[in-house]
Amino acid sequence: MIKRVLTILPAAVIAVLALSGCAAGAHYIEPGGPDALVTVSAVDPGEWRRVAGQAAQSLVASGALKRTDGMEPVVMIGRVRNYTLIHLEMGLLTNQLRQAILKSGQARVSSAVGYGGNLDRAVRRVRDNENDDLFNQATVLKRGTVVAPNFSLAGMVIQQNTVSGRTEESYYMFHLTLTDLRTGIAVWEKNIDFAKQATRPLL
Amino acid sequence: MKKHFLPAAAAALALVLGASGCQDTVNTMENRDLAMNPDSVDTRAFSTDSFCRDRLALISMRRSTTPGGVMMVQAQIRSERYGFWSEMWSGMTGTNPYHVLYRFDWMDQNGMAVSTAANAWQPLIFAPGEVKFIQGVAPNSRCKDFILSVREDPSAR
């Protein structure tokens, strides 16, 4: 009996140690870094950062934010349409583009008009207090002070899935456009695409 | 002895031919009389990964100013993983093509790093012998200095 226990015990200890070694506790990783998960079925955090980075670089390099009519360039962040089969939080892209435009010093970004989280409704709401006797009317912001945008940044995301045998592939293409709102003409466009592939195990 | 030598030699020959047949290198050609007049950048490299250093060769580093008035740099990099042994080894280890990640960090005139969306690691895939151009654009016109970081992509193995 003792001999049998002595035989089984080391094996059990090794098995327990090996299994506990497979677990990973919660830890920080760099968003979009080498340790981040890469999936075929979604746009991963690293890809949002890459798309935003490439778009920001292209926009800043292009000089499209310079105006020849003497007006100060002000960009409205419009809608990035999702033509994929999955839910995408476009704020992950537009928030980074807003910051990149601001940091470039080439233009300012409007929060008075825009789409989704890029619109701050407070700009309009505070002016609705102009007839409210609760407020000191001298402190209520007047109408006619908000700067209107003269550029609009919008776009779309397209996805195409293909499967061949056990291999699945997803292709995503982001298309972004900067439109001069005075003329309605696109002054900058950028396509950013990437494809991911995974093969399911045989068993 | 002779009886065993012939099958072994035939197997070795088949292995060599098979492995060399798997080579999927990129061959390049360019015009000999170059018309361009690039502004080259003197680089100072700090490499901690001897594998990555030996597998990629920096051919040139150039800079220019974009229409937006910001600095753009371009690194021309070639994969040195070509040749029989190199390709056979990379094929066996699952690192052909060669996946790397790169990132540009930019500093302003005070030497302070400027964090932007463009700081993200960007993937790049090299076929053996392939030449690729990595471009980085400064986040604003005040940034003139940069660091280009390159590392192997462990998620691609």
Residues of B with Cβ-Cβ distance to A30 under 8 angstroms: 121
How confident is the model over B121-129, as a mean pLDDT?
Answer: 90
Residues of A with Cβ-Cβ distance to B153 under 8 angstroms: 34
Q: Is the pLDDT of residue B34 over 80?
A: no
- The more confidently predicted of residues B116 and A61 is A61
Closest CA to A189 of A203, A173, A202, A178: A178
CB contact under 8 A, B117 and A106: no
What mean pLDDT is reported for chain B? Answer: 81
Closest CA to B86 of B24, B5, B15, B141: B24
| CB of A49 less than 8 A from some CB of B | yes
Q: For position B22, what pLDDT does the model report?
A: 57
Q: For position B18, what pLDDT does the model report?
A: 53
User: What backbone phi and psi angles, to 5 degrees, belong to A81?
Assistant: -75, 140
Q: For position A81, what pLDDT does the model report?
A: 97
What mean pLDDT is reported for chain A? Answer: 90
Q: For position B9, what pLDDT does the model report?
A: 72
Q: For position B16, what pLDDT does the model report?
A: 56
How confident is the model over A90-100, as a mean pLDDT?
Answer: 93
**Helix-strand-coil split of chain B, %, nearest 5:** 25, 35, 40
The domain segmentation of chain B, as residue ranges, is 38-156
| CB of A105 less than 8 A from some CB of B | yes
Read off the DSSP letter of residue B78: E
Distance in angstroms (rounded) separating the CA atoms of residues B37 and B157: 39
Q: For position A35, what pLDDT does the model report?
A: 84
How confident is the model over A135-149, as a mean pLDDT?
Answer: 93
Chain A residue closest to B140 (CA)?
A104
User: What's the whole-model pTM score?
Assistant: 0.81
Q: Is the pLDDT of residue B123 over 80?
A: yes
Q: For position B96, what pLDDT does the model report?
A: 78
Q: For position B156, what pLDDT does the model report?
A: 67
Residues of A with Cβ-Cβ distance to B157 under 8 angstroms: none
Q: For position A1, what pLDDT does the model report?
A: 64
The answer to whether A54 and B136 have CB atoms below 8 angstroms apart is: no
User: Hey, is B4 helix, strand or coil?
Assistant: helix
Instruction: Kindly report, residue by residue over A100-132, the tens digit of the pLDDT.
Output: 999 999 999 999 999 988 889 999 999 998 889
Q: How far is B12 from chain A (nearest CA, A)?
A: 31
**Helix orientation angle between A91-104 and A45-62, rounded to the nearest 10 degrees:** 30
**Helix-strand-coil split of chain A, %, nearest 5:** 35, 30, 40
Q: Which of A36, A64, A100 sits opposite B117 (nearest CB)?
A: A100
Instruction: Kindly report, residue by residue over A27-41, the tens digit of the pLDDT.
Output: 998 887 878 888 998
Name the CATH topology of A50-199. Rossmann fold (3.40.50)
Q: For position B44, what pLDDT does the model report?
A: 72
Q: Is the pLDDT of residue A58 over 90?
A: yes
Q: How far is B117 from chain A (nearest CA, A)?
A: 5
Q: Which two tokens stand for residue A67?
A: 């105006």
Q: Which of B70, B119, B121 sits opposite A60 (nearest CB)?
A: B70
Mutate to test the interface with A, among B49, B107, B116 (most CBs of A within 10 A): B116
Q: For position A9, what pLDDT does the model report?
A: 72
What residues of chain B, 61 to 100, have a C-beta less than 8 Å from chain A? 66-70, 72
Q: How many CA atoms lie within 13 A of A182 on its CB side?
A: 11
Q: For position A16, what pLDDT does the model report?
A: 67
> Locate tokens 């051919």: which residue?
B59
Point out the least confidently predicted range of A9-18, A51-60, A126-135: A9-18
| CB of B137 less than 8 A from some CB of A | yes
Q: For position A113, what pLDDT does the model report?
A: 93
ipTM of the complex: 0.78
pLDDT grade for A77, boundaries at 50, 70 and 90: very high
Distance in angstroms (rounded) separating the CA atoms of residues A103 and B141: 10
How confident is the model over A173-192, as a mean pLDDT?
Answer: 97
The answer to whether B150 and B98 have CB atoms below 8 angstroms apart is: no
- The more confidently predicted of residues A23 and A160 is A160
Q: For position A50, what pLDDT does the model report?
A: 92
Point out the least confidently predicted range of A3-7, A25-29, A69-73, B78-82: A3-7
Name the CATH topology of B38-156. Immunoglobulin-like (2.60.40)
Q: Is the pLDDT of residue A174 over 90?
A: yes
Q: Is the pLDDT of residue B21 over 90?
A: no
How confident is the model over A123-149, as a mean pLDDT?
Answer: 92
Q: For position B17, what pLDDT does the model report?
A: 52
The domain segmentation of chain A, as residue ranges, is 50-199
| Long-range CB pairs of B60-67, under 8 A, 24+ apart, other chains included | B62/B38, B63/B39, B64/B38, B64/B39, B66/A60, B66/A61, B66/A62, B66/A63, B66/B137, B67/A61, B67/A62, B67/A63
